Amino acid sequence: MDTLVRNEILISESKIREIFTPFSPVNQKELLSGRNVEISSILASINTPGQHALIYGARGIGKSSLANIISKIAADSFNYTVYIKKCCSNDSFTSLISEILESHGYDSRCVESTNEHTEGGGANLSVPFVGAKIESHRKKSEKFSFKSQYSSPSWGANVLKDSRTLLVVDEVDVLVSNEDKLKLAEFIKHLSDYESTFKVLIVGISDTGRDLVNNHKSIERCLNEISLQPIGITELRNIIKNGESKTTLRFDDNVIDDISDISGGYPHFVHLIALKCAEEAVLEKRNEISQDNLTSALKLAAQFSEGNLRRSYEDAIKKQTETSQKVLLAAALCHPRGFLISELLEMKNQAVDPDIGDGAVKSCLSRWVKNNELSIITRIERGHYRFNDPRLISYIKMVNGFSYDKDSIIADILKNEYSKRYVRSSR
């Protein structure tokens, strides 16, 4: 137990977890790589009258990291007051803007107000031997409700339109109510009509972005939609090199190449694998991270991967465990956009295990495609398949410790050959 505690203290004191951050968004501009085009486009939107922006894409692609850096630039260079709202399932449109409303003197928690006033009257009575004046008083209460006012997109836009503010609405995909997504879209539309200095940046997981604003057609012209795609090899390498420059650690070039390839263009996986490599180096008191260190770090990184990826993989290999593992690895080594059965068989024979029969490969593939609960691989068309979740490709490589060696060189050659088919089909 003492050794475990000492190891954790060593890693914590190294500050390496502040440099490679797979479990939290990047907060330092110099650690964000490969998003200059997107940054330029979003900055142009928030500085253009009437325009706002939306960032969408897959989980782990770097959406929140990009939003964080945009927020810092907007505050530091363009004098915006920035509010970042991380959504949860019980949020509403009102709760998204409540903090900003309060800064303008509107308390959204006060949904109604009561005014009381006194009404009075008197009567003179003439009674023998007695003269009296009797006064009567009663209180009257009137309640005023602000609930509908605070939840009104048009009212909110009118109140906030002159504020130089950037509202970042992150994880908007978790909002349960489509009505609240629609109100957010209407809020943006009203701000756009006002040519307001109040800007909105929406961030969320989505394939198209439209569902994040409930398919509101009227805001398409005023909402710059940014689809985040996997980043290139050079940018992936730069994540490691930039992190490396803040430490005394040095990653072997082949290790950097392998991490970049295994990540599949996802910054999350680069940070995760690099972190596990660095942690081992810190514990072993060495500065160089070599190929031998990568293999163990990959399997450790797999243990820290998202639970959904681990469960999907474990469900897929329950039957014919060893064979299923190798067939999945062969599929993961093919082109990320998909593979033909002939390509899968060739990859299996050349780079994984030629002793596995073609029938066993087809049996595994059929089981994964037909079992809706597994949802591992889908058939695009006859004989053409792809992984439902592209991140699973990276996980499979990690859990198998697949790194730079003779087999990976063969796999790369085959994958590059297969990629020509996609180049031709896109013309």
pLDDT for the residue 107: 73
In whole angstroms, give the CA distance from residue 309 to residue 315: 10
Answer yes or no: do 362 and 221 share one domain: no
Residue pair 316/303 in contact (Cβ under 8 Å)? The answer is no
139, part of any domain: no
27, part of any domain: no
7, part of any domain: no
Answer yes or no: do 335 and 421 share one domain: yes
Domain count, the chain: 3
At 138 the three-state DSSP class reads: strand
Last residue within a domain, chosen from 257, 277, 303: 303
CATH number at residue 326: 1.10.10
In whole angstroms, give the CA distance from residue 62 to residue 206: 13
Answer yes or no: do 82 and 154 share one domain: yes
Answer yes or no: do 236 and 221 share one domain: no
Answer yes or no: do 395 and 420 share one domain: yes
Last residue within a domain, chosen from 245, 272, 303: 303
Last residue within a domain, chosen from 228, 253, 274: 228
Q: If you ran DSSP here, which 8-state letter would residue 19 be given? A: T
CATH number at residue 290: 1.10.8.60
126, part of any domain: no
Answer yes or no: do 224 and 285 share one domain: no
pLDDT for the residue 291: 85
41, part of any domain: yes
Answer yes or no: do 282 and 337 share one domain: no
CA dihedral of residues 358, 359, 360, 365 (deg, nearest 10): 90
Average confidence (pLDDT) per 10 residues, the chain, 427 residues = 86 91 86 88 95 92 93 95 94 91 78 52 46 51 55 91 95 90 93 95 89 81 91 91 91 92 92 94 91 88 91 87 91 89 90 91 88 79 89 92 65 69 45
Answer yes or no: do 338 and 420 share one domain: yes
Q: Is 231 left (phi over 0), alpha (psi -120 to 50) or beta?
A: beta
Answer yes or no: do 242 and 222 share one domain: no
Answer yes or no: do 362 and 388 share one domain: yes
190, part of any domain: yes
Helix intervals (H) in 79-210: 93-103, 147-150, 153-160, 178-193
Run of H or E including 417: helix 406-425
11, part of any domain: no
pLDDT for the residue 405: 57
Answer yes or no: do 244 and 392 share one domain: no
pLDDT for the residue 374: 67
Residue pair 84/54 in contact (Cβ under 8 Å)? The answer is no
pTM of the model: 0.80
pLDDT for the residue 118: 56
pLDDT for the residue 421: 55
Pairing relation of β-strands 377-381 and 223-228? unpaired
CATH number at residue 84: 3.40.50.300
pLDDT for the residue 121: 53
Answer yes or no: do 91 and 172 share one domain: yes
Residue range of the domain that includes 250: 232-303
112, part of any domain: no
